[in-house]
Amino acid sequence: MRILVTGATGFVGRWLCLELAANGHEVIPTGDRADLDVTDPAAVRARVADAGVDAVAHLAAVSFAPEARDDPDRARAVNEGGARNVVAAVAALAEPTPVLLVSSADVYGPPDPAALPLTEDAPLAADQPYGRSKLAAEQAATELAEAHDVPLVIARSFNHAGPGQRLVFVVPAIASRIIAASKLGEGAISAGNVDVRRDIGDVRDVVRAYRLLLEMAVERRGTLAQPLVVNVATGRSVTIRSVIDGLARLAGIEVAIRVDPMLVRPDDPPDIRGDASRLTAATGWSPRIPLATTLADVLADVRTRTSTTAAPNA
């Protein structure tokens, strides 16, 4: 298949391009805003029309929740506007091709602990700018897809990590603090809410799910439920404390956790985990990479990318 990937130079986009190419697909990548501004309808329509692809994977987004909180208007413009423009561009084709829209578990908002693991039928109660912008993207894409018969798959991805992720995200941020502590011979690192639990997958498992969804959408384009919404999740959650312990053990040091009030988020839900049964039923996907492998690979990657003792907040 020939697949257009927006956001191809981002963390997940790079891994998706590798996954698609490794499985015999031709990738047409679009990179940063200078390459394709997804908020520009004319530019998106021209790129989609010229690409001549079998499917589109739309990943370009404001993907870091604090950045969306700092500039909610931009997050809405990129996330909702980009999704709207991509689906509208596909709708304008003589024969609309399937679109994979990468969304987020943040559309569910803070979950009721009794309702875990979250299924796709859970209430959509996003209460933060990032989650609201992703929910608006889903709604805009769905409206256009239904109006113009565009095959649409929405992937609601839970937390994931892996080599190459920006150091502001929690797993590489912790890894960088542990590396800095090891270099300085210190026995403590700063952290925030260490006893909250999160469903943390590996980016390589996540992009395998995206590939399988794209392949399935093209093969079954005339029979898919519209839209098909699936969670991409491991189904298990771990504490941030256990992530710290695992990274410290891999680094060969013992660390104490120094709670930094600046890193504590009082509104953090105590537990978030998802049910990926629908994804498994549709594609046969299940997570393969253990968290210990993810942590080891992140630690090795961060070591190659940082030579300072300063570590970002997360």
92-144 pLDDT tens trace:
999 999 999 999 999 999 999 999 999 999 999 999 999 999 999 999 999 99
Q: What is the mean predicted confidence (pLDDT) over 186-201?
A: 91
Percent of residues, the chain, with pLDDT higher than 90: 86
CA dist 176 and 96 (Å) reads: 44
pLDDT band of residue 264 (cuts 50, 70, 90) is: confident
CA dist 17 and 276 (Å) reads: 23
Count CA atoms closer than 13 A to 138's CA, side-chain side. Answer: 26
CA angle 236, 237, 243 (to 5 degrees): 130
Q: Which CATH architecture has domain 2-160+200-232?
A: 3-Layer(aba) Sandwich (3.40)
**What are the φ/ψ torsions at residue 105 (nearest 5 degrees)?**
-65, -15
201: CB partners within 8 A, 6+ apart? 157, 158, 159, 160, 161, 232, 233, 234, 287, 289, 294
**Is the pLDDT at 175 greater than 90, yes or no?**
yes
DSSP state, residue 290: -
pLDDT value of residue 313? 45
Tokens coding 84: 């709207």
Nearest to 41, CA basis, from 95, 87, 108, 100 = 87
* Beta-ladder partners of 58: 6, 101
Instruction: Determine the straight-line distance between the first and last CA of the chain, rounded to whole angstroms.
Output: 38
Q: What is the pLDDT of residues 40-78, one digit of tens each?
A: 999 999 999 999 999 999 999 999 999 999 999 999 999
What does pLDDT average to over the chain? Answer: 94
Angle between helices 170-184 and 291-305 (to 10 degrees): 60
Strands, sheet with 228-232, edge to edge from the N-terminal-most edge strand: 26-29, 2-6, 55-58, 99-104, 152-157, 228-232
pTM above 0.75, yes or no: yes
**Is the pLDDT at 23 greater than 50, yes or no?**
yes
**Is the pLDDT at 309 greater than 80, yes or no?**
no
Q: Which amino acid is at 293?
A: T
**Is the pLDDT at 310 greater than 60, yes or no?**
no
Q: What is the mean predicted confidence (pLDDT) over 238-244?
A: 97
CA dist 25 and 199 (Å) reads: 30
**Residues shown for the chain:** 314
Nearest to 134, CA basis, from 230, 65, 224 = 65
Nearest to 138, CA basis, from 122, 123, 155 = 155
Q: Which CATH architecture has domain 166-198+236-271+290-305?
A: Alpha-Beta Complex (3.90)
pLDDT value of residue 307? 64
Q: Spell out the domain ranges in the chain.
A: 2-160+200-232, 166-198+236-271+290-305
Per the CB < 8 A criterion, the answer to whether 27 and 35 are in contact is no
DSSP state, residue 111: P
Q: What is the mean predicted confidence (pLDDT) over 235-264?
A: 93
Tokens coding 92: 């304008």
**Is the pLDDT at 31 greater than 80, yes or no?**
no
**Is the pLDDT at 80 greater than 50, yes or no?**
yes
CA angle 119, 296, 62 (to 5 degrees): 50
Asked whether the domain spanning 166-198+236-271+290-305 has the same topology as the one spanning 2-160+200-232, the reply is: no
Ranges of H-type helices in 58-202? 65-70, 72-91, 129-148, 170-184
pLDDT value of residue 184? 86
Number of H helices and number of E strands within the chain?
A: 10, 13
pLDDT value of residue 226? 82
What are the angstrom distances between the C-alpha of 184 and each of 97, 167, 178, 191, 305? 54, 19, 10, 17, 17
